Structure 1
Amino acid sequence: MQLQQLAYFVAVAEVRHFTQAAELLRVAQPSLSKQIRALESELNVSLFSRARGNITLTPAGEALLPLAKRILADVDTARLEVQELAGLKRGRVRLGATPSLCAGLLADVLRRFHDAYPGIQLIVEEGGSRDLVRELTRGSLDMALVILPLHGDPPLDTIPILRENLVVASPAGPEQGAPERSLPAAKAAQLPRRAYLRIEDLRNRPLVMFRPGYDLREATIGACRAAGFEPRFAVEGGEMDAVLRFVEVGLGVAVVPSMVLAGRPGLRGTPLALPDEEARRGRHGPGLLRTVALAHRKDVELTHAARAFQDTLQTFLVEAGLAGGLPAGVETLVHG
C-alpha cells in the first residue's frame, strides 16, 4: 500500500469520478485507475462500485476513507514538522474555533502569533464544537478551541483555558442605545427585565436556533426539555452572525455567549441562571457558564508551530486576565 495510492483513492472518493479526480491531481486517468486497481488487489477488496457509470464506495471503501484521510493528514503534518525545525521559519497551524471566539479574543491572539512567527501559515476553521471535534479526530486540524464536556469520549487531550457566561440575547430597548428601527422588534421579543433569567422564561417564546453541530443548539434544547417544555423555533439553521442579526430584528431570542454581544448596541444580554439544584451546590455562582478548552489528538504530538501557538494563547490569556482586558463575562482559567 502506497501513499500515492491512498491519495488517488481519496480523490476519487470525494469527486466520485475517475477522470475528474485525475484532472485535480494532474495525472493521466489510466495511471490513476491502475493505481486504484493495485490498491484493491493489495487489500483483496473492491473499493468502488462502478455500475452504470455511477461511482460509489463499497462498504470496504467507506471503511477505508476516514483512515486514508487521517494517514495522509499525518504524513503532511510530519513533513511540515521537519521543515519547522529551522527556528519556526516555516510551518503551519490548523486551528479550529467556535464562532464566539472567532468574533472575540481570538483575533488578538492570532495577531500576536503572526507578529512573532510571520513564516508560519495560519489556517482557521470556524464551526460548532461537535464539528471541530470530528475534524480533530480525522486529522484535519492540529488543535481546536472546543466546549467541555466533550460528547462520545473522543481520543483528545483537553486543557481548560477560559470560562464564559451564557446570556439570552434579545433586541435592546431605546434606553440602551438601540436604533429607532429596532423598537418594534424589541416589543416582539420582549423579555422580563431581571438580573437573571431562567430557562422557564423561554417557554412559548420564539427562539432563533443555530444549525446542527453547534453545542449551543444542543445545550439550549436540552435545557428546555429538562425544564419540561419543547422549545419553539422562529427560525433555525444559522451561523453566529446570522443568529445575532435575526435576534436584532425581532425574530426571536437566542442563548449565546456574552462575549459575542460586544459592539452590538441593538442587542442586550440577560444572564441565564443555573437550575435551582445546581445553584444550591454553589457551582460558579448564580450564572450559567460554559468552559472552553484547547484540544488536540492524544495519539499525535503537537508540531513545533502548534506548541508555539499554545504558548502564545496561554500567555495572552494570563496577561489579559491580569490587566482586565478580557471581554465582559469571560474569565481565564490559565494562570502564570
Structure 2
Amino acid sequence: MNFKQMTYFIAVAEELHFGRAAERLDMAQPPLSRQIKQIEEELEAVLFNRGRSAISLTQAGEKLLERSRAILALLDDTKLEMRRLGQGAEGRLRIGFVGSSTYGILPNIVKAFRAAYPAINLSLQPLNNAQLRQQLVARMIDVAVARPALNDAEFAVKHLVKEDLILALPDTLDTGTREIADLRRLETHNLILYPEYPRPSYADTVINACTDAGFPVPKRVFTMDLQTALSLVAIGEGVCVVPSSVGSAPRNGIKFLRIEPEIARTSLSVNYRIDEQGVHVQNFIKVAQNVAREAR
C-alpha cells in the first residue's frame, strides 16, 4: 500500500460513496474500485461493508482511516520540516570557539544570529585551536571561531577583526598614572602564557612577539587557557599579554595597559570545511561578517 493508494482509500472512507470519491479524486470510478480491492487483498482485510444503496467502514476500515490520516499528516509535517531545514529556518548549528573571542565580537555575532534565526538550536563549545581543528575535521562542530586561524587545506577561512596585544597585570603593581607598558621593566615578573599544549599556539605568538621586541621572556609560567591565566594575574602570579578586547571587560584584581611600541597584532577568524553545504553555516558566516564590518 503506497501513499497514493492511501489517498484513494481516505477519499472513499470519507465520502462513503465510490462515485463521489472518484469525482473528488478526478478519476473514473472503475479504476478507483480496483485500487480499493487491491488494498483489501494486500492487507487481507475487508475495509468496507458494501450494501445495495450504501457502504460503511468495517472495524479494519476505521482503524486504517485513523492510521492513514496520521501517516499522511506526518508526511506533510516532514516535508515542511525538510523545507524549513533546507531554507535555514530551523535546525542545529554547532559552534566551537577560542575563549578570548567571548570578550570580542563573538557575543554580538551570536545575538545577531539568534535574532535572525530564532528557531536554530545553537551548541557553543569553548576549545583551543588544536581541538577546533580536530573537531572540525571530524565534523563534530560546524564552524570554528579561531585565533588567528586554522591552517588546513580542507578549511575555508574568513577573517573578522584584528586586535592589538595589551598587557594584563595585577592591580597591586604600582604603575602610577601610566597607561602604557614598558616591557623592559617587566623582566622581574613571570610572563603567564597559554595554552601550555599543544604547541605551537597563541603562547608562541606572544613569545615570538616579545623576543622580536627585544624582551626575551626570561620567566615563563604556562597554563591551559585564558581564564586561568587571568586568574593567576589577579592573584599576583605574573603578567599576561592578551588581545585588546580582553581589556574591554573590567576584572577584579587586574588592570590593562597598552604596549608601545606595538609588538604584534592578533586576529579572529571563522573557519569551516570547504565541502560544507549546510545553509546554517553559510548564514552564520554572513552574520559574522556583517557584525565584524559594523565593529570596525
- What is the TM-score of this pair, normalised by structure 2? 0.61
The aligned residue for residue 281 of structure 2 is 306
Partner Cα distance (2:259, 2:219) in 1: 18
Aligned counterparts, 1:1-336, within 5 A: 84-148=84-148, 150-151=150-151, 153-172=152-171, 183=172, 186=173, 193=178, 195-198=180-183, 200-211=184-195, 212-213=197-198, 215-224=201-210, 227=214, 229=216, 231-233=218-220, 235-261=221-247, 262-264=249-251, 266-273=253-260, 286=262, 288-298=264-274, 300-319=275-294, 321=295, 332=296
**Structure 1, residues 250-278: CA drift from partner, whole Å, max 9, x if none?**
1100111121122225322223346xxxx
Measure how far apart 1:120 and its partner are.
1.0
Report the CA distance between 1:230 and its aligned residue: 5.1
Counterparts of 2:282 and 2:86, CA distance in 1: 15
Letter matched to residue 195 of structure 1 = I
- How far the C-alpha of 1:86 sits from its partner, in A, is 4.9
Distance 1:130 1:273 in 2: 31
| Distance 1:273-1:120 versus aligned 2 partners, 3 A rule | same
**What percentage of residue pairs aligned between the two structures are identical?**
24
SS in 2 for 1:309: helix
Matched residues in 1 for 2:89 and 2:150: separation? Answer: 34
Output the amino acid matched with 1:102: T
Residue 202 of structure 1 deviates from its aligned partner by 4.2
TM-score by length of 1: 0.55
Distance in 2, Cα, partners of 1:264 & 1:195: 18
**Does the 8 A contact of 1:142 with 1:302 survive in 2?**
no
Change (3 A) 1:249 1:306: same
* Deviation (angstroms), 1:130: 3.2
Q: Note the residue ranges of structure 2 that are not aligned, 5 or more in a row.
A: 1-80
Q: Deviations over 1:110-162 (max 9, x none)?
A: 122122212211111212223312322232221112223645x4431111110
Question: 2: CA distance between counterparts of 1:90 and 1:194?
Answer: 47
Shift of 1:191: 10
Report the Cα offset of residue 208 of structure 1. 2.1
Contact kept in structure 1, 2:165 and 2:265, CA below 8 Å = yes
Return the letter of the residue paired with 2:194.
Answer: F
- Distance across 2 between alignment mates of 1:205 and 1:219: 19
CA distance in 2 between counterparts of 1:88 and 1:134 reads 26
Amino acid of the residue matched to residue 163 of structure 1? K
Alpha-carbon distance in 2 for matches of 1:98, 1:194: 27
- For residues 127 and 260 of structure 2, the distance between their equivalents in structure 1, rounded to whole angstroms, comes to 26
Letter in 1 for 2:162: R
Query: Shift of the alpha carbon at 1:167?
Result: 0.8
Q: Distance in 2 between matches of 1:209 and 1:109?
A: 27
Structure 1 residue aligned with 2:15: none
Q: Per the alignment, in what secondary structure is the counterpart of residue 112 of structure 2? A: helix
CA contact (8 A) 1:221 1:231 kept: no
Length, aligned pairs only: 212
2:216 partner SS: coil
Q: RMSD over aligned Cα, in angstroms?
A: 3.0
Counterpart contact for 2:210–2:263, Cα < 8 Å: no
Structure 2 counterpart of 1:244, one-letter code? L
Cα distance change, pair 204–241 in 1 and its aligned pair in 2 (3 A): same
Secondary structure at the counterpart of residue 148 of structure 1: coil
Tell me the residue number matched to 1:51: none
Distance 1:205 1:247 in 2: 11
Residues 3-31 of structure 1 show CA distances to partners (whole Å, capped at 9, x for unaligned) of: xxxxxxxxxxxxxxxxxxxxxxxxxxxxx
Q: Which amino acid aligns with 1:313?
A: A
SS at match of 2:147: strand
CA 224–318 in structure 1, closer or farther in 2 if over 3 Å, else same? closer
Q: Is the 8 A contact 1:137 1:154 kept in 2?
A: no
